[in-house]
A and B are shown apart, each in its own frame.
Chain A
Amino acid sequence: MIDLVLIGLTRFLVGGQARWIGASPDMRQRIYFANHASHLDTLLIWSALPRQLRGSTHPIAAADYWGKGKVRRHIALKVLNAVLVDRATQGPPGAALAPLRGVLAEGESLVLFPEGTRGNERLPGPFKSGLYWLSQEFPEVELIPTYLDNPSRAFPKGTFLPVPISCTVRFGAPLLRRAGEEKDAFLDRARAAVGALASDPVS
């Protein structure tokens, strides 16, 4: 019930239609990695996925935003199936990835924002290394570059209310793994794959 209301609201306010450009909606295990521009992003990708995929796809959401307050927390955990990650975690590299590994180990899919924080630019900023480690540990999981168009205009950083500006969610072709590729080269390539979807070839 809440999920229908949320999807309805998202459609009404920002549209958020999906465009499957290089991949098709599929039950295969995937990591969707996207540019991060607003607090709408998690909601946008979640509502752009077909119903059958929503149940088995878990967005990674920042605990300091989505974990705040009872309502938001309930929506994040129970409706969006989100995995809350504490961005301030200190420790050995990759320690913060533990809950993500758990999801992948169970055969479910992830939605990841590898920039780690919201940007204001059209093109994504540098990626953090989490995507690289996960892609190494789970070589059979498909990596789908995802581009969110417009959320930084609809809900800019530092504002309290989104305005109605149409956003689209573009899913690109799976990122292929290259044997022996260095971490930085892989992350640059992943980032470029998201950026390449910024200029929509369809419309």
Chain B
Amino acid sequence: MSLTDKLFILFGGICALLGIASAIGFALSRKVTSENGRATVDNLNARIRAWWVMVAIFALSFGLGRGVTVVLFALTSFYTLREFISLTPTRGADHLPLVAAFYVLLPLQYWLIWTDWYALFTILVPVYGFLLLPSLAALKGDADAFLLRVSRIQWGLMLTVYCISHAPALLTLDIPGRPREGFLLLFFLITVAQFSDVMQYVFGKLFGRTKVAPVISPSKTVEGLVGGGLSAVAAGAGLWWITPFTPLEAAAMALAIVAMGFLGGLSLSAVKRSMGVKDWGTMISGHGGVLDRMDSLSFAAPVFFHLTRYFYT
């Protein structure tokens, strides 16, 4: 089976799943009448509609090739960094580090993926960004809350640019005997991470009783985590045929993605809570901001990238 055939089947499968979800959403919208229930169902349907759009964007970028996919993720980093910085109290003296983050480090990080310069890709933000940002901030001569301000920008950059860029970096991996199959690894990562989020939401809504972290994220429950996590692991195992993994290895990889995704969602909920907001933005209707959809992926991408790179290339 060729790469195109596989991608065709995979996106066909996703469309079928979304079709079922849309049908269920439509049925629910006719059945549910209570005010509380209506709000939930309306939100559910908004989420499903947004999923159609997101899947269409991904299918299109995959179809158009590596360059477009890298640009798509660069834009994702751009918007998530914008959301992060918008909610972070920066001030005038932070302008120069922000200019460097948005206009130099972000494009450079993605250019390094495009040119496949792995050695610099892995250290650009954690080493050179780490050194550059405080230097630029210090030049402004404002020492007030200096460490706090510099850390915030560095943290945002690590999360939204460095971590997220590990997803498209999968396209650069050379797996023996499997040329150009980075797209399939990327598909695997995104599908498992997002499916885990969706199923945790579904299981949480249906059976959720015991809260995992009531202070940080009241919507995360043990039932949701276990039910959603296991579904995503099963889905990952079922996708073994598109990866270099055996079914058991695929399940283990999916488990790593689910675990990191859960920790990412939890950590970013804590950040949001500390800032006093519920969502990162309003860009994706029903979901919140782009970062609300990317939180789990941002934590899962680097780990999945390195596991695959270490064991399979």
Which residues of A are in contact with B by a Cβ distance under 8 Å?
15, 17, 120, 150, 152-153, 156-159, 161, 163-166, 203
Contacts and interface: CB of A to CB of B under 8 A. Distances in A.
Given A120-B92, A156-B92, A166-B281, A161 B99 contact: yes
Interface string B100-111: 001100000000
B59 to A, nearest CB: 23
B288 to A, nearest CB: 11
Contacts of A164: 78, 81-82, 85, 102
Contacts of B98: 163, 165
Contacts, number: 39
Contacts of B281: 166
B86 to A, nearest CB: 4
B85 A165 contact: yes
Given A120-B92, A153-B91, A156-B95, A161 B86 contact: no
A203 B288 CA distance: 12
A165 B82 contact: yes
Given A153-B91, A164-B102, 9 more contacts: A17-B282, A120-B92, A152-B92, A156-B95, A159-B92, A163-B102, A165-B82, A165-B86, A166-B83
Interface of B: 78, 81-83, 85-86, 90-92, 95, 98-99, 102-103, 277, 281-282
9 contacts: A15-B82, A17-B282, A157-B92, A161-B99, A161-B103, A163-B98, A163-B102, A163-B103, A164-B85
B174 to A, nearest CB: 34
Contacts of B90: 153, 165
Contacts of B85: 163-165
B92 A166 contact: no
Contacts of B103: 161, 163
Nearest to B281: A166
B95 A159 contact: yes
Contacts of A150: 86
A17 B82 CA distance: 14
A150 B281 CA distance: 14
Nearest to B89: A153
Nearest to A157: B92
A181 B78 CA distance: 49
B12 to A, nearest CB: 33
Nearest to A153: B90
Contacts of A158: 92
B99 A163 contact: yes
B82 A166 contact: yes
Residue of B83, B92, B95 with most partner-chain A CB within 10 A: B95
A156 B92 CA distance: 6
